[in-house]
Structure 1
Amino acid sequence: MNHAQSTLIHQAPSQSRATQTETCSLSITVARTDIPFMMQTIPHLVRSCNFPFFKRVLVMDTAPLSQEKVNRPGLGSLEDLRACCQKLVDDGVMDEILEIDYSESYRRQTYQKYFGCSEIRPTHNYKGSPMLGYMFSIDKVPGDYVLHLDSDMLLHQEPGFNWIQLGIDLLNRRDDVMFVRPFAGFPMPSEALVNQTQSYEYDPEGFYKFTFFSLRAFLLKRSKLERLCPMPVSWRCFKRKWLSNLPSRVLTSVNTWTGRGKLESWEIIMSRQLEKMNCVRATLAHPDAWTLHPLKHGPKFVENLPKIIDHIERGEAPQEQVGYYDLQLECWL
């Protein structure tokens, strides 16, 4: 494609032959860090999905912020977050709000289910991300299938196309597929994935196979997810390297006893389990639905977000965005 052409590129529509047969709910987790942009991104995500969800659920994280989250721009109060969530429900964008349950009984019950150990104490991982909240956002959102989207994701889907139903069909057809997501990044004419840091393989059924799990966007079938549980919990490396070589159950006992251990990211834990179980995460190769993820959430992003969303919903992006799955903010300004 000639780089001297117009800076905006358009993808043509395509039809889906799939039909909806089971219930699927939408789960979006929000925290105080999302207040600057969530009132724009969440309605956009619901519009772009254009799917008859059984429930559209906001999962609200009320825990104190920690680690790098403390310094995010535009932090509001919990009252501000609750007001935003309620407006999304009042406006008919979302159906209900669930606050993450941080009670000891829920924590013990949930960690027993996912990790086979009820004694684990941290509710957040080493980066301050809500480990327990990720599990809550799956367990407490109803439906045979759950679509989780991070609240800052940006999604395009051509009219008449239905990536969610294609994902449901794939989850039912392939035993090895545990999660499905749409194409990552604005697609190149060849529909190839580029700028990927994780290894993958192309499957003839029309998707890319990853053993690396990503939290940003995934569709799952609840009954299939249970096959991955319980999974070995992972902890961040110790200063004394030899401790990191101990078996997972021993490390869990040490961390429980000392109270100092920090959980590894949910992505790493799930990725290791996918590889161990010979399962994959599928990224659909179809260019009629694709996502972008913003790395920066500062004033420039928020100020230009209406314009960015408008272009994405029309299937347009700057030439410089082609092939990148993270939003290249500067080329949108």
Structure 2
Amino acid sequence: MITLQISLAPSDYPHAVHLLTHQIKVFEKQVDEILLTYDTHKSKGHFSNNWELNIDKMWDFLVDFSKSNIKIRLIKIDYSKSKNREISQRYFSRNNIPAKDWRGGPFYTYFFGINEAKNDYVFHIDSDLFFGGMSKNWLEQALKLYNDDKQILFINPLAGPPKADGELIGQIYSKYKNKPFYFAFKSMSTRLFLVNKERLVNFKLDNIRTRNIVHFLKAIFRGNPPFKLPEEILSSKLESNQMLRVDFKGDEPGLWSLHPPYRTSGFYDNLPEIINRIELNDFPESQKGFYDIVDEFVDWTEAKSKLKM
């Protein structure tokens, strides 16, 4: 029994109106529950872009969208002290955790989503992810692998479409049991992960305050909690307990994810076409083996020119 859990916030509205349909199309027949969690806790920084503009519009969209599939359960994230304490005691060595990390990015939302899922197996994805390969049984294969190897804590689809030589670009990894398109990592990303709740609670999370003086000062200056990113905390726990994250393609046609590194007007305008091309495995050769959408696929000139200013 698996829950697909998708985290959403008001700032996600421009892409969610297109990507939610795509994401559920990929996974709806592989899961028993689709949990949409909606964040109404505004942070400081770019994570809250257009928050007020979209907060009601996004909620209305999600309420209407949820009626399209009986597996969907839509909830607003509960930031009450009692719920925070429940989650903190279950997954952490403390009685409360922050709403956000030092950047103003989500912290509490990840653990709330895992905790509120009805099933022990939770497949979390961020709202801006695309999926190609379109495997209809990848999650079934992932559960078998998870249960066969107690050293695994997280499992993901491939990050980027498969490269002919079986390698990845820009990642630190080893081959998992020398199997083609199976990769082992000592770190994880909160963009997406399949986890078993009961396996996760065996590793109480600690040392969550940032010790990086630059991050600490930026947090104080911006008014954010001085805490590490969740993926940094979870990655440290992986390594200290000699656990693994495994990414694998699965049986043909396999499954892989792509992430947009920027947000531009052109990107939003072309989202339906981008989704269609990814579902059809229509992408440039330079995209193979890489997790972020490359320039040859989407024109990122607008975003990169702003970075130079």
Cα distance in structure 2, aligned partners of 1:320 and 1:37: 24
Shift of 1:317: 0.8
Cα distance in structure 1, aligned partners of 2:207 and 2:140: 32
Shift of 1:32: 1.0
Cα distance in structure 2, aligned partners of 1:261 and 1:62: 17
Cα distance in structure 2, aligned partners of 1:331 and 1:199: 25
Aligned partners of 1:154 and 1:291 also within 8 Å: yes
> Which residue of structure 2 aligns with residue 34 of structure 1?
12
> Which residue of structure 1 aligns with residue 294 of structure 2?
328
Give, as a single letter, the amino acid of the residue that structure 1 aligns with 2:262: K
- Unmatched runs of 5 consecutive residues or more in structure 2: 300-309
Cα distance in structure 2, aligned partners of 1:189 and 1:239: 43
Shift of 1:50: 4.9
Matches within 5 A, 1:251-270: 262-270=226-234
The percent identity for this pair of structures is 26
> Which residue of structure 1 aligns with residue 152 of structure 2?
177
1:234 maps to which of 208, 219, 229: 208
1:148 maps to which of 119, 124, 147: 124
Cα distance in structure 1, aligned partners of 2:183 and 2:73: 34
> Which residue of structure 2 aligns with residue 299 of structure 1?
265
Shift of 1:296: 1.1
Aligned partners of 2:102 and 2:224 also within 8 Å: no
Shift of 1:38: 0.3
- Max radius of gyration: which structure? 1
1:116 aligns with 2:93: yes
Deviation track 1:195-218 (CA, whole Å, cap 9, x = no partner) reads 22x344433355211111111111
- In structure 2, the residue corresponding to 1:29 is in which secondary structure? strand
Give, as a single letter, the amino acid of the residue that structure 1 aligns with 2:273: K
- In structure 2, the residue corresponding to 1:203 is in which secondary structure? coil
The change in CA–CA distance for 1:113 and 1:300 in structure 2 (over 3 A counts) is same
Higher relative contact order (CA 8 A, sep 6+): 1
Shift of 1:289: 1.1
Shift of 1:285: 4.2
- Unmatched runs of 5 consecutive residues or more in structure 1: 1-22, 244-254
Length, aligned pairs only = 291
2:107 maps to which of 111, 117, 131: 131
Cα distance in structure 2, aligned partners of 1:93 and 1:320: 39
TM-score normalised over the length of structure 2: 0.86
TM-score normalised over the length of structure 1: 0.80
The change in CA–CA distance for 1:276 and 1:104 in structure 2 (over 3 A counts) is same
Give, as a single letter, the amino acid of the residue that structure 2 aligns with 1:128: G
